Amino acid sequence: MDFPEGTIAIGAKGKKEVRILRTGGAGFVVYGYLDLDTGKEMGKYSILVRKPDLEIEHWMIVPSPSGKELVVKHVVEEKPKARGIFDPKTGKTIKF
């Protein structure tokens, strides 16, 4: 499947990943990652929360071999750039 260029990210290991919407609402979004080569879910996901001052708080969660989930990234982005996230239900890209 072809995905819009703005939804593709480069992971820590240099592989191309697609940001796929899981859920969202007023001021937050949860998206997972799809391996661009295999088309399979990678198990990791990010949570973005827009704060009242327009900063974005970003958590990245990855599965551990023991089955637990680990927060491997937590940052507050003072000047966030919009991310493209592919919504598989609509086939469109959302910006957050």
Sorting pLDDT into bands at 50, 70 and 90, what band is 12? confident
Distances (CA, A) of 48 to 66, 90, 92: 25, 20, 19
The DSSP annotation for 8-68 comes to: EEE-TTS-EEEEEEEEEETTEEEEEEEETTT--EEEEEEEEEE-TTS-EEEEEEEE-TTS-
How does pLDDT run across 79-95, given as a tens digit for each residue?
Answer: 888 899 999 999 999 99
- From the number of C-beta atoms within 10 Å of its C-beta (0-12, 13-18, 19+), residue 71 rates as exposed
Q: How many domains, in total, are found in the chain?
A: 1
How does pLDDT run across 13-61, given as a tens digit for each residue?
Answer: 899 999 999 999 999 999 999 999 999 999 999 999 999 998 999 999 9
| Residue 60 domain boundaries | 5-95
